[in-house]
Amino acid sequence: MSEAGFQLNDRVPDFRLPASGGEEISLSDFRGKKVIIYFYPKNMTPACTQEACDFRDRTGELHALGAVVLGISTDPVRSHDRFREKQNLSFPLLSDVEHRVSELFGVWQWKKLYGREYEGIVRSTFLIDEEGRLIKEWRKVRVKGHADEVVAAVKSLG
């Protein structure tokens, strides 16, 4: 059972969020393509920067496989614009300031850091097929090698 409000092979509910570059993006905009949605805690932090750059470096290969990448955090669009420009990211970053979509996917959770408890995004990635169905999820992701795992999963779909 997924921690999200839906399970593997279920159709993922559509959502719409503001994105870098001033546009609004819906999941349904990508029907007919595989969609990789990765949730990350915060722009400009070391692990989040590494993860974004790892996906950036694999974007061409993923596009050739019919897949797109979307990054989602609770950072505002302006922060996404700066992060995207600084790291030369070729995919959109979506702003989930009210953590509505993060809650939908079950990644908005209580976390603990240096003895302090707070709510935030638990780094997670979801692979959605061309018809909008959830086909794979990675929760509590470790950044090292993660983009490679995602690419391998997309390749395995044929």
Q: Which active-site residues does the annotation give? A: 48
Cα–Cα distance between 148 and 141 in angstroms, integer? 12
Query: 74-105: string of b/e by CB count within 10 Å (b at 16+)?
Result: bbebebbbebbeebebebbbbbbeebebbebb
64, containing H or E segment: helix 46-64
Cα–Cα distance between 140 and 62 in angstroms, integer? 22
Do residues 105 and 57 touch, judged by C-beta distance below 8 A? no
